[in-house]
Amino acid sequence: MGVYEAGGNGSNGTTTATTCNCCDMSLRCWCRWKFGNHQQQQQPQQNHHNLLHQRLVSLVFSSGFMFFLGCLVLYGSIGMFYGWLVFSKPYSRSTNVGVGLHSLGCQEDNEGSWSIGVFYGDSPFSLKPIEAVNEWRDEGAAWPVANPVVTCASLSDANFPSNFVADPFLYVQGDTLFLFYETKNSITMQGDIAVAKSTDKGATWQQLGIALDEDWHLSYPYVFNYLGQIYMMPESSQKGELRLYLALNFPLQWTLEKVLIKKPLVDSFIINHAGIYWLFGSDHSGFGTRRNGQLEIWYSSSPFGPWKPHKKNPIYNVDKSVGARNGGRPFVYDGNLYRVGQDCGETYGRRVRIFKVEVITKDDYKEVEVPLGFEEPNKGRNAWNGARYHHLDVQHLSSGKWIAVMDGDRVPSGDPVHRFILGSASLAAVTVVAVVLGVLLGAVKCIIPLSWCANYSGKRNNALLGRERSNLFSSKVRRFCSRLNRVPLCVRGKIKLYTWAGKLVLAVTIVVGVALMCTGVKYFYGGNDAEEAYPLNGHYSQFTLLTMTYDARLWNLKMYVKHYSRCSSVKEIIVVWNKGRPPRSSDLDSAVPVWIRVEDQNSLNNRFKRDPMLKTRAVLELDDDIMMTCDDIERGFNVWRQHPDRIVGFYPRLISGSPLKYRGEKYARRHKGYNMILTGAAFMDHTVAFERYWSKEAKAGRELVDRYFNCEDVLLNYLYANASSSQTVEYVRPAWAIDTSKFSGVAISRNTNVHYKIRSNCLLKFSQMYGSIAGRKWEFDGRKDGWDL
C-alpha cells in the first residue's frame, strides 16, 4: 500500500529515483516503497539495518498506508457507534431486586449455559413443563412458575459461584425431592456435584451446597438406593476410574466406598433388571473409539461387582447422532425397560432419545428407539433449552404421577469460540475492503513491497538472495507477489470512477465494508443473540400477550405475532378481533398458542373484557402496531412482578393544568414526572384491572369510551387512581419502539390534534366521575427509566 518508487545505479554507489509502472506486464516488478536517499555505510550489516529502518519509516508515512489506516479508523468508528447503538445496555441484569450478576458466577463458558427444568406427566411419554400445570408462588411473584427452576444464578446467589448446572438426578424421600447435579465452579473451572431440596414438587428449590468436590472433574451424579443405603456414582473419567460413594450424612457428606472399574467411563448407571445388575457406560479412551458414539455393558450379581464385560462389547461404536452415550437414568414403564441416550450429532448434547430395551442377556442386547413425546421448544435462543437438551431423569411418584428433571441450553457447544472466529474473519475482511478502496481511489498503487517480488533490482541481504536462488518455493512466492502488484493499475484501468458503473462499484465496496465491520462487532459484543427472561428472587414466570385489531391491520398482526411469540416469557397470545373476517390461527407464524376471540361489537372496551382463557396473572396489553425488543418486554415484566398492583408500561403521560389538557410524552419529560401510563403497551394484573373496568362504578366511563371510540386506557388509569392513594403506575423506558401503523395508514389516531382534543374531553368527564389525577405526580426513576434494573 503506497506508491513504490525506486531505481538503482550499481557502479557509483548512488541511488536515483524513478517512477515505476505497477501494471507493467513484463516479468519485472518495478514497484517498491518510496525511500529517501541514504548514505552508504562502511559495514554491510549496519547498512542493512539502516535500510530496514528507512523502509519502515517510509512505509508508515507513505500515502497508501495513511489511507489504509484512515479507512480502518473510519470503519472502526462506525463499528463502535453501531455497537453502542445496538448492544450497549445502560441497565444491568439482575437475578433479584438490586442484586446483579457482576459476581464470579454465570460467566460465559465455551461448554454452554446449561440450566435445569422440571416436567410433569401421567406417564414418562406425556411430560409437560412446570408452567403448563399452572403452579403459582406468591413469594416469588411467579404466576405461574416457569422453567428453568435451577440456574447458575441459583447457585451463585447461594455463594457457590457456578458457570452452569447440568446432568440432574432426582432422589425422592416421601414428599421431599433432592436434586443432585453437576455445577461448573467459576473459580476452579472444574465440575463439582451440588444438591438442592424441594418440598413443593419441584416448583422451588433450596440450594444446600456442594455435595462432592474432588481434585478432578465430576459430573453425572447417578444416585440410587441399595439395601437402605444411599450411593452416588458420579463420572470420574478424568481420574481414569469409576467410583462409588456412600452417603455418611445425606445429602452433603459422602465417602468413597469402592472403585468399581479401572476405566475412564463417562455417563454410567447401574440398574437391577431380571435379578442381574447391569452397568452401562462409555469408554472414549480406546483406539478407534467414536467419541459420543460408543456404549459398553457389564453385568454382576451385586452393584459392588465384580463386573464382567458383555459378550457384544462394545454394544455401539457408531456415529455420535445415534444416541449411544447415556443421557440419564433408565426407567421402567408398563413392564418395559427404557434407556435414555443423547444425540450429539449437530452439537454436543443436541437432544435426548429414548430406547426400549427388547433383549438384555449376558450374550445379547437389543433396543429400539421410541418417541419421547416431548415438544421441542421453538423460540430459538430465547428459550432456556432452545438449542439442546441432553439429560433426563424421570421417576414415578407415590401419587401415580411422573416427575422429570431435564437440563437445557440456549446456545450450542463452543458458541463463544464460534463467534470469535466469525468476528475475526469479518474484521480481516474489512482490511481487505480498505485495500480495495485504496486501489479504486488510487491511494494504493502497489500491494506488496518490492523486496518480496521477483527480479527485484534494489539491495537485499546476501543471505536472503542465496536462500532464494536455492529455494524453488520462495521463487514462486516472489513471482506471485510480482503479479499481485500489477493488479491495482489494471483494476483502475477497467473501473473508471467517473462512470456510473465505477461509482456503483465504489459505493458497494464502502457498504460491504460497513456491513462487515458491523457484523464483526455483532459477533464480538452482541453476545449469543438471546433475549433472556429476567428472574425475580430466583424464579421465572410467564404472561399472556393480548392485542386488539381488525381485518385492515392483518399484516401488522402477522408481523406482531411472529416477533413477540418468540419472547421468552410469553405463554400465549390472545387476539381480540373487533371487525371483519378473522384469520385462522394457522395463518399466523407463532411459537406459542394463539387464540382469536371474535367480538360481536366493535368496541374499545373489549380490550379489558374478562376472559376465562387467561391462564396467567400478568397480561401485557400491547397494540398490534407497536414493535419493540423482547428484552424491553422482559424488563417491563420484571418490573411489574415487583409491583403487581400497578400498571407498568412504556408510554408515560402527565395530566395537569387548568383546564386539564392531554399532552404527549415530551410534556411529561419536560416537567420531569408522570401520572398516567398508556395501556397500549402496559402490564397489569387482569384479575384486578378487568374487574375494575367492568364494575358498576365504571359503567358511565365505558359508555363514554363507546361514544368517543377512544380513551379506554385513560379510563383504566382513573379507575386505578380512584382505588388507591399510593402510586398506581410505573414507567419503564424502552430502548426503542416503532409504530408500524405509520407505514400502513390504518392508525386509529391518524389526526393527532383531533385525537388529543377528544382525550382532553375525556379527562374532564372522567375527573367529574372519579376525581382528578392532576394532583398526582411521580418522577422518572433512573433505575426503571432504562438506566439500571
| Cell numbers representing residue 35 in the block | 525511500
From the number of C-beta atoms within 10 Å of its C-beta (0-12, 13-18, 19+), residue 39 rates as exposed
The total of structural domains in the chain comes to: 3
Contacts of 173 (CB under 8 A, 6+ apart): none
Does residue 23 form part of some domain?
no
Q: pLDDT by residue (tens digit) across 100-111?
A: 444 689 999 999
Same domain, 743 and 632: yes
Q: pLDDT by residue (tens digit) across 601-613?
A: 999 999 999 999 8
Same domain, 198 and 124: yes
State the sign of the Cα–Cα–Cα–Cα dihedral 309, 313, 319, 323: negative
- How many Å apart are CA 176 and CA 429, to the nearest integer? 57
Same domain, 299 and 312: yes
Does residue 578 form part of some domain?
yes
Last residue of a domain, one of 525, 559, 588: 525
Q: Can you spell out the DSSP letters for 561-597?
A: HHHHTTSTTEEEEEEEE-SSPPPPGGGS--SS-EEEE
CATH number at residue 175: 2.115.10.20
pLDDT of residue 101: 42
What's the Cα-to-Cα distance from 702 to each of 278, 680, 705, 723, rounded to whole Å?
70, 17, 5, 17
Contact 447, 1 (CB under 8 A): yes
pLDDT above 70 for 645: yes
Q: What is the mean pLDDT of residues 146-175?
A: 96
Q: What is the mean pLDDT of residues 710-725?
A: 94
Q: What is the mean pLDDT of residues 514-520?
A: 95
The confidence band for 474, taking pLDDT boundaries of 50, 70 and 90, is low
Contacts of 698 (CB under 8 A, 6+ apart): 692, 715, 719
Does residue 630 form part of some domain?
yes
CATH number at residue 742: 3.90.550.10
Q: What is the mean pLDDT of residues 486-514?
A: 85
Does residue 39 form part of some domain?
no
Catalytic positions, written as ranges: 713
Does residue 246 form part of some domain?
yes
pLDDT of residue 34: 37
Q: What is the mean pLDDT of residues 288-317?
A: 95
Same domain, 719 and 595: yes
pLDDT above 80 for 181: yes
Same domain, 404 and 290: yes
What's the Cα-to-Cα distance from 81 to each of 78, 102, 395, 432, 522, rounded to whole Å?
5, 25, 53, 21, 12
pLDDT above 90 for 177: yes
State the chain's mean pLDDT as an integer: 86
pLDDT above 90 for 41: no
pLDDT of residue 13: 41
CA–chain centroid gap for 512, Å, is 26
Containing domain of residue 754, as a range? 543-779
Same domain, 519 and 614: no
Contacts of 199 (CB under 8 A, 6+ apart): 175, 176, 177
Same domain, 136 and 215: yes
Same domain, 637 and 693: yes
What's the Cα-to-Cα distance from 721 to each of 369, 711, 728, 781, rounded to whole Å?
60, 15, 6, 19
pLDDT above 90 for 160: yes
Same domain, 514 and 553: no
Q: pLDDT by residue (tens digit) across 56-96?
A: 555 444 677 788 889 999 999 999 999 888 887 655 555 44
pLDDT of residue 693: 97
Q: pLDDT by residue (tens digit) across 233-252?
A: 999 999 999 999 999 999 99
pLDDT above 80 for 397: yes
Choose between 97 and 259: higher pLDDT: 259
Stated pTM of the model:
0.85
pLDDT of residue 740: 78
Same domain, 398 and 442: no
What's the Cα-to-Cα distance from 540 to each of 532, 543, 647, rounded to whole Å?
11, 11, 20
Does residue 65 form part of some domain?
no
pLDDT above 50 for 217: yes
Alpha helix stretches (DSSP H) within 34-96? 44-60, 63-86
Does residue 480 form part of some domain?
yes
The confidence band for 470, taking pLDDT boundaries of 50, 70 and 90, is low
The confidence band for 478, taking pLDDT boundaries of 50, 70 and 90, is low
- How many Å apart are CA 4 and CA 58, to the nearest integer? 10
pLDDT of residue 6: 37
How many Cβ atoms are within 10 Å of 17's Cβ, its own excluded? Answer: 12
Does residue 459 form part of some domain?
no
Choose between 545 and 33: higher pLDDT: 545
Report the DSSP beta bridge partners of residue 327. none
pLDDT above 80 for 726: yes
Q: pLDDT by residue (tens digit) across 754-773?
A: 999 999 999 999 999 999 99
Same domain, 515 and 551: no
Q: pLDDT by residue (tens digit) across 565-593?
A: 999 999 999 999 998 899 988 899 999 99
- How many Å apart are CA 335 and CA 749, to the nearest integer? 65
Q: pLDDT by residue (tens digit) across 334-368?
A: 999 999 999 999 999 999 999 999 999 999 999 99
pLDDT above 70 for 256: yes
Contact 362, 384 (CB under 8 A): no
CA–chain centroid gap for 344, Å, is 20
Same domain, 285 and 208: yes
Low-confidence winner among 218-222, 228-232, 754-758 (lowest mean pLDDT): 754-758
Q: Rounded to 5 degrees, what are φ and ψ at 777?
A: -165, 130
pLDDT of residue 100: 44
Structure letter (DSSP) for residue 346: S
- How many Å apart are CA 753 and CA 748, to the nearest integer? 13
Amino acid at 194: A
Last residue of a domain, one of 364, 388, 412: 412
pLDDT of residue 615: 93
